[in-house]
């Protein structure tokens, strides 16, 4: 159901040092690094840690749900729009993640970043 989760932190170096240490015994490692954060997993990113951009104690949560195909990603976006959600990023390929990463990002009623993603080609 869930593809990956992202959290925002106040001190990225301290948090990545913590997650480097506690996730290693569980078989997870850093699999991707970018200015936006550090991704952990076994063979693909499934847990992201990034800097916070929102002021105050409440932070945006990012949830990514697995979609069976690209049509489902587009349907997710259409359903979100019909429900009045803001589209953060329309459905498209995201080759910076990997060549067949196809996702759409929307804002839920509480301000969270919710994504549908398909990893399959075409």
pLDDT per position as a tens digit, 71-98: 999 999 999 999 899 999 999 999 999 9
pTM (predicted TM-score): 0.76
With a cut of 80, say whether residue 3 has pLDDT above it: yes
Percent above pLDDT 70 for the chain? 98
- Do residues 48 and 38 touch, judged by C-beta distance below 8 A? yes
What's the CA gap between 116 and 14, in Å, rounded?
30
Band of residue 110 on the pLDDT scale cut at 50, 70, 90:
confident
pLDDT of residue 112: 83
Band of residue 69 on the pLDDT scale cut at 50, 70, 90:
very high
pLDDT of residue 72: 94
pLDDT of residue 8: 86
pLDDT of residue 91: 97
- Do residues 15 and 49 touch, judged by C-beta distance below 8 A? yes
| Region of residue 100 (left: phi > 0; alpha: psi -120 to 50; beta: else) | alpha
Whole-angstrom CA distances from 16 to 8, 34, 37, 40, 71 are: 11, 13, 9, 10, 35
């Amino acid at each position: 159901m869930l593809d990956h989760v992202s959290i925002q932190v106040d001190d990225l170096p301290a948090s990545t040092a913590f997650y480097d240490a506690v996730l290693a015994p569980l078989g997870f490692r850093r699999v991707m690094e970018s200015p936006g954060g550090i991704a952990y997993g076994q063979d693909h990113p499934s847990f992201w840690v990034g800097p916070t951009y929102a002021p105050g104690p409440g932070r945006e949560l990012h949830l990514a749900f697995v979609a069976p195909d690209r049509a489902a990603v587009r349907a997710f976006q259409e359903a979100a729009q019909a429900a009045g959600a803001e589209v953060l990023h329309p459905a498209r390929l995201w080759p910076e993640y990997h060549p067949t990463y196809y996702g759409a990002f929307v804002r839920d009623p509480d301000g969270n970043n919710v994504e549908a993603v398909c990893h399959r080609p075409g």
